[in-house]
Structure 1
Amino acid sequence: MANNVVERPAPAPVGSARTTRALLACGVVGGPVYVAVTLTQALSRDGFDPRVHRFNVLTTGDLGWIHKSNMLLVGVLTVLFAVGVGRVLRTGRGAVWGPRLLGLNGVAYIVGGVFTADPVAGFPPGTAPEMVQTTWQGAVQNASRGAGSLVLIAASLMIAAWFAAAERLDGAWFYGAAIPMVFVVLTAVGFAIGGNPTAPAFLVAPWIWITALAAHLYRREAARRDDTPAGRLNTA
């Protein structure tokens, strides 16, 4: 007589599960830290006007090391988060390139933290228009910001494809459309305020998406661990 008992895959070792959650936690904390430090710098440094200047010029001047360190930190955290996402997605549509593109976004921030943007008129204080010039370091720094945005959009589409393949259409819609929707809303706010309308959108929109994904996957992995016999015993 055939045995109809369905065998479930063995749960991941405790150490492996903890490591995965630690990697996902990097994505939870990275965005808020980056945005908070960037906004603090933007509002406190003399001569910087977020309505006019791009945030990457905070890497210039005597205090430029703060924003460069901020970019290096969030870049490393994003790469570690991408490793955690790869552990969670494992197989299926988008499971390979989603985490890889997330990791490339982290690498783009690391590159942005290594190089210094070119000064612009009025920042750092005392920079006159005739003093502004393009250097190769500034060009690489600017290119890293554009590349980071492109690979993150591509990663969001890959992650959305993974959710769609898993028949989680709510997740597919959210992770596929969140970045464009938040960007449009924040750009509209920027137009209302005046000045550079896309500055808040470029700063905040990517990190809302990454933080939401990280929190979602972290809760998913924690619940999955608690659903094992050992997890139920530990939470009883």
Structure 2
Amino acid sequence: MSSRRTTAIAGSLAVASFSAVMVLSFPAGADDQGPGSSKGGKPVDQAPAGVKLSTLLPERISVDNDSKKTAITATVKNGGTEESGAIRLLVVGFDGLTVTDVPGCSRIAEKDLPEGSNSGFACPIDDLAAGASTSYDVAATFDPRKTGKICLPVQNKDGSKTYWQQGPVPFGTTNPSPNAPATPLLLGTDNTPVGPGGEELPRTGPGRDVLPLGAAGAALLAAGAAGLWWSQRRPARPQG
């Protein structure tokens, strides 16, 4: 074998090895949820001076059509100039979306869940520095035969004030794929049921007129560490 041919073969093997490394170095993208979005969120009670709290949800998630399982990243951030002090994030599921686990958080007792919700977890946060954020891995199931909504209120430690609330905001698809391994769902999209003829979705929980998205809003108020109630609130007056 000539030295020129040996060099060519060695070079080809090196390129192939490098290509394999490049392919294996990047994830398959199955967990790619896209950028975070605060869609369906708004301030409720006035936060302490210099504190600006908000939440983010992924713009898209994927539901396994066999197990109905999905994963959602819930993020709370402080866009202000001062530390938040002790706060808590609530993660609450509605209709076809059921929250099954949020590591590091406590399950909300069924009797203390908001009307119309089916599950929820409370996540205590000792303090959130100015400009900082923290994220939680939310395990959930989604029934594609129903609508599915999630709600993220951010409250003070005892739940007497709700500084921010995102939702209840829907995840859904207008193009169901029952024969595919998974169904992608988009934030802020009402779900079309999987089934022949696109039958009308079953409606459970409070109607959209009771819990409007982006209107003056329903606020999650709490008394004590776990008490939750839905209540209509008047829109805050514009700051002068």
Report the structure, 1 or 2, having the larger strand content: 2
Which bin holds the TM-score, normalised by the shorter protein?
Answer: under 0.3
Report the structure, 1 or 2, having the larger helix content: 1
Select the structure of larger CA radius of gyration: 2
What TM-score comes out, normalization by structure 1 length?
0.24
Report which structure shows greater RCO (CA 8 Å, sep ≥6). Answer: 1
